[in-house]
Structure 1
Amino acid sequence: MTLKNTADRWGPVSQSLHWLIVLLILGLAVVGLTMGELPKTPKYFWVYTAHKSLGLTVLALVLLRLGWRLYAGSPDPVPGTPTWQHRIASFTHALLYALILAMPLSGWLYDSASGLRPFRWFGLFNVPKLTAPDEAVSSFARGAHGWLFWLLVALVLLHAGAALYHHLFQRDATLARMLPQGWLKPAPTESTPENTPKDPPHVV
């Protein structure tokens, strides 16, 4: 079994990075939306630091995934996909990558410009600052972080909805090829044997 992507499906490395990034973003979203409700106790600051550490982890994983995609290539378009759908999908993927990169960068910039003391990535090492303390930059980065989040949510929902549409209505392998082989099969079409009515028995 090859680790690289093939002409008809994503390889195990691309699949693992894809779903790991999805899970981390979901966790970051939940924490980010509820963090403001936590009392300012030592636990709050632990959660806040963990949120920043996970955000930088996502940044590193996305860069790794982009590098792997350049090395391993990407599958061909699913047979039968119209050219306009393929172009929209390519644009959506590029925008997703850009947003997932911009989100942690805006958070990192906000943390840097806020003048807070350096935080330690999962307690292992200090994360360098991107800029000196600056109230205007801090305010801009904080606002951008929020707007980028909601734009990312909208795009992820569109991306997931398109994958489900292809699986349930187009009945192709768009979704299945981002999962381990055999986990999910394209929904049968009307012409497949599963839906083909059997001939009635002959009466002798």
Structure 2
Amino acid sequence: MQRYTIPAIVLHWLIALLIVAAFVLGLVMTDIPGLTPAKLRYVSWHKWLGVTVLGLAVLRLLWRLGHRPPALPASTPAWQQGAAHGLHALLYVLIFAVPLSGYAFSLAAGVKVVYLGVFELPVLFGPDPALKPVLRAVHYWLDMSLAAAVALHLAAALKHQFVDRDGLLARMLPFAPTKENP
């Protein structure tokens, strides 16, 4: 079975780890009442993770446009192939939409995004008290949708590994042997 390219594998797992870190950090920071130094630090880290995910997602999309992914096994039913392609498209959309909505929410709140405390991102619009709660809700629900899509993606990968036993998961694991390369 054909594997994904090394750059695709590295970008996949790096983006996945950063998304999980940003998600957990987002849950932790929103539970801290008030504006404490710890909360402000976590908010900065959360934003930095989001900007990093967005940058890596751009690289991943550019790589993907020039490199077709390996085909699914011929034994995969057409409905599962369609579901897999649809879920991957949704994941790409959400991986872009979540950090972009967070960026917009930050701008509406009147808070600049300064990546790593050094690089100020452009301010596309000024503070907007009416838009702030809307963008906060949009960011939250997009993030929850991404979490659900990731959970479904993980469940499908585990189903292929432990139920179908078709070796599909090994195509994306960095050091896993494939059926042709034990």
Q: TM-score normalised to the size of structure 1? A: 0.82
Q: Any stretches of 5+ residues in structure 2 without a counterpart?
A: none
Shift in Å at residue 10 of structure 1? 0.3
1:130 Cα deviation after fit: 2.7
Are residue 145 (structure 1) and residue 139 (structure 2) matched? yes
Higher relative contact order (CA 8 A, sep 6+): 2
CA RMSD of aligned residues (A): 1.6
Q: What is the aligned counterpart of 2:156 among 159, 162, 166? A: 162
Give 3-state SS (helix, strand or coil) of 2:123's partner: coil
CA distance in 2, matches of 1:162, 1:97: 17
Q: Distance in 2 between matches of 1:13 and 1:169?
A: 28
Counterpart Cα distance in 2 of 1:149 and 1:169: 29
Q: Tell me the number of residue pairs that the alignment of Structure 1 and Structure 2 aligns.
A: 178
Give the alignment's TM-score, normalised by structure 2.
0.91
Quote the residue 2:128 is aligned against: 134
Q: Give the share of equivalent positions with the same residue, in percent.
A: 44
- Aligned equivalents of 2:93 and 2:52: distance in 1? 16
Structure 1 consecutive aligned stretches of length 4 or more whose deviation exceeds 4 Å: none
**Cα pair 2:108 2:127 within 8 Å, conserved:** yes
Which runs of structure 2 are paired with 1:32-181 in the superposition (5 Å)?
32-38=26-32, 40-116=35-111, 118-181=112-175
Q: Give per-residue Cα distances to partners, 1:51-89, cap 9 Å, x unaligned.
A: 111101101111110100111221112231111111110
Tell me if the contact between 1:99 and 1:152 (Cα under 8 Å) persists in the aligned partners.
Answer: yes
For the residues of structure 2 that align with 1:143 and 1:36, how far apart are their CA atoms? 13
- Tell me the distance in 2 between the aligned counterparts of 1:104 and 1:130: 15
Name the CA distance, whole Å, in 2 between partners of 1:174 and 1:58.
25
Which deviates the most, 101-110 or 68-77? Answer: 68-77
1:184 Cα deviation after fit? 4.9
Alignment partner, residue 194 of structure 1: none
